Amino acid sequence: MKISVQINASPYQHQTADTAWHFIQAALVSGHEVYRVFFYHDGIYNALRDSRPPGDERDIVKRWSELYRQSNIDLVVCVSSAQRRGLLEQSVAKKVGGYDKALADGFRIAGLGLLMEAVIDSDRHVTFGD
């Protein structure tokens, strides 16, 4: 089955990002295709490169970057959600004089069209976080 995932909540504050990550792992192990993970609303905070949790905690951002490295799953951060919350794509950051290294490895910033494409093309679209 082709599955796409949407994450609406920030990491650490809620269990959302953990549940979504475990769901994706289980889906991959079961032989499903995870087509895209779309980070929307406060979910964009999952893509902050400079997140540094204490050493004895799971590193949620790094875990997403590793997921991309291992499985090549498309990790897309919504551009308008991100800009509103201060996460800028490199070219935009350069243009407006903002911080241009905010985005962690494996993520890309794009528009809502990619969410809709994923919803339309996937057999299931699973949303995490309210």
Partner 1 sequence: MKTLVFVIDKPLHGNVRAQEFLDMAMMAAAFDQRVLIVFEGDGAYALMKNQHADVIGLKNMIPVLNALAIYDINDVLIERESMKSRAISEDQLLIPADILSRCDIKSRMNAAGHVFSF
Residues that bind partner 1 (CB under 8 A): 40-41, 78, 80-81, 84, 112-113, 115-117, 119-120, 125, 127, 130
Q: Are 127 and 6 in contact (CB under 8 A)?
A: yes
Nearer to partner 1, 45 or 106 (CB): 45
Nearer to partner 1, 15 or 80 (CB): 80
- Structure tokens that stand for 120 in this block: 């339309």
Closest distance between partner 1 and the C-beta of residue 117, in Å? 7
Q: Catalytic one among 78, 102, 104, 114?
A: 78
Closest distance between partner 1 and the C-beta of residue 45, in Å? 14
Angular region, 65: left φ>0, alpha ψ -120 to 50, beta rest: alpha
Residues 6+ positions from 12 with CB-CB distance below 8 Å: 53, 60
| Phi–psi pair at 40, nearest 5 degrees | -125, 165
98 is catalytic: no
Residues 6+ positions from 119 with CB-CB distance below 8 Å: 4, 125
Closest distance between partner 1 and the C-beta of residue 83, in Å? 12
Nearer to partner 1, 44 or 73 (CB): 44
Active site residues: 78
